[in-house]
Structure 1
Amino acid sequence: MTSLVRHVPAAPSAIALMHFSNRLTFETDCSDVYNSQQAGDVDFVLVDVRGPQAFERGHVPGAINLPGRLLTAEGLAGYGKSTLFVVYCAGPHCNGANKAAVKLAALGYPVKEMIGGVTGWLDEGLELSTQVQQPAATIIGCEC
């Protein structure tokens, strides 16, 4: 008898290699963000895409708050097109990071999602911050 796991056969190794390698071009995880911060290797802009109130209650240290409505060409004009944005939202139950990634990619910016979001950060035993970081670039029309 075949298990439910094997009911659909696994992909051939070459296809699995391509699939999982491609996923890494779209995603990073909480541990990689944290370890990069600890090593001082922050060559990305960490963006919390939740609303200002959620951000103020607690966010990943070093993050700026740019809710999806602010992700416009005008709002991001101060960032070079080679700026890597790492976006996150509340967690796996929220698709705000995916929506933000779509907007950023459509505007021509490289983007990755920090999988797990705030939930993943806390699951790793890491602490949230309530200190507000100012965006490196001026955000036009920001009402936060």
Structure 2
Amino acid sequence: MSLDPAAYFRAKLQCEIDVMDVADAEAGSLVIVDTRRRSSWDHGHIPDAVHIPTAQIPELAAELIPAGSQIVVYSWGPGCNGSTFAALAFAELGYPVKEMIGGIEYWIRNGLPVETAAGIVRSSPDALVTAHKA
């Protein structure tokens, strides 16, 4: 059986969301979940994200996230498939979920806010990856 490329890419796009689409989403419309380890979370994360490491999703999801919430998961970046495993875990629990492509690496490279122990910080947007204005 041959896979129809158009069907594959249509399905893929239903399961992914771009960093800038997450940043531009209406407040409260998404539950953003950082799926990285505690040390990575402590280093910096998207403000208002929920921290649930991938391995803990089955035990913590129902406690921390209301059923039916539109979830967006992220991990480090394009060289990491941690958010793919996390998206699968949420999908298996019945949550509507999308994977934020580019992860926090591209969030930072787009000059978007990151929460650290020092407070909210922003990097200058990387002109090679964004049309976002500083």
TM-score (ref. length: structure 1): 0.70
RMSD: 2.0
Query: Which of residues 54, 73, 77 is equivalent to 1:87?
Result: 73
Structure 2 gaps of 5+ residues are 120-134
Tell me if 1:49 matches 2:35: yes
- Residues 112-123 of structure 1 mapped to structure 2, 5 A cutoff: 112-123=98-109
Structure 1, unmatched stretches of 5+, are 1-14, 133-144
What secondary structure, in the 3-state scheme, does the structure 2 residue paired with 1:75 have? helix
CA distance in 1, matches of 2:99, 2:44: 19
More strand, by proportion: 2
- Cα deviation for residue 16 of structure 1 reads 6.1
Q: Displacement of 1:33 after TM fit?
A: 1.0
The structure 2 residue matched to 1:129, chosen from 94, 109, 115, is 115
Corresponding residue for 1:6?
Answer: none
| Aligned counterparts of 1:80 and 1:122: Cα–Cα separation in 2 | 28
Q: How much does 1:23 deviate?
A: 2.4
The count of residues paired between Structure 1 and Structure 2 equals: 114
Q: Residues 71-95 of structure 1, C-alpha deviation per residue, up to 9 Å, x if partnerless?
A: 01x4222333311110000000111
Q: Quick one: percent identity of the two aligned structures?
A: 38
The residue identity in structure 2 corresponding to 1:106 is: E
SS of match in other structure, 2:60: coil
Aligned-pair distance for 1:17?
A: 5.3
Structure scoring higher RCO (CA < 8 A, sep ≥ 6) equals 1
Q: Output aligned runs, 1:59-74, within 5 Å.
A: 59-72=45-58, 74=59
Secondary structure (helix, strand or coil) at the match of 1:98 reads helix
2:62 pairs with one of 70, 73, 77: 77
TM-score with structure 2 setting the length? 0.75
> Given residue 96 of structure 2, which amino acid in structure 1 is its aligned partner?
P
Question: How far 1:127 moved relative to its partner?
Answer: 2.9
Distance 1:22 1:42 in 2: 25
Q: What is the match of residue 24 of structure 2?
A: 35
